[in-house]
Structure 1
Amino acid sequence: FYRGESALTNGTATLALPAYFEALTRPEGRTVMVTPKGLTPFAVSATEVQDGRFSVYGTKADGAFYWEVKAVRADVPPLDVEVDKTTSDQ
């Protein structure tokens, strides 16, 4: 995962992830989370990661926010965390 904090300029911000992010992660396993920072509440949302970048939009023109990107690694097979039970296990 990657995380940080940033601020909007005129209600938007575009953040770049490390250059190797696209090669090391699966496009279908990415999540972007954003949380407003500060005492004054405001709405904030984010786009999906495209070409190693994502954008954040908010209702407070200069609002500060925390961000986190989680992704599934592409260099190893996906982990099967729940194994299907056989009929003898049920």
Structure 2
Amino acid sequence: MPEIWPALNSMQVDDENRLWISTIVEDFDIYEWWLLEESGELITRFEWPRDELIEVVRNGYMYTRETDEETGLQQIVRYKIVMDEV
């Protein structure tokens, strides 16, 4: 687990019962996300910008809420999730 306190920012479960945990790191611009199997086994970790909030993960896509810094307008952005086999 991270050495920063508090260690966790948020947790959510996707439609495949995987646990998505955003952890707080020293860099205030990002979160480090941990993706865990239902069993608790770590699948992967990745960094994601704090200002691009992950709202939901469903059907192989991650949906984020992003805000345009100039206009303040928000939009939902969809990202395809691709995991390489090891």
Q: State the TM bucket, normalised to the shorter chain.
A: under 0.3
Higher share of residues assigned helix: 1
Answer with 1 or 2: which has the greater Rg. Answer: 1
TM-score normalized with structure 2 length: 0.24
TM-score normalized with structure 1 length: 0.23
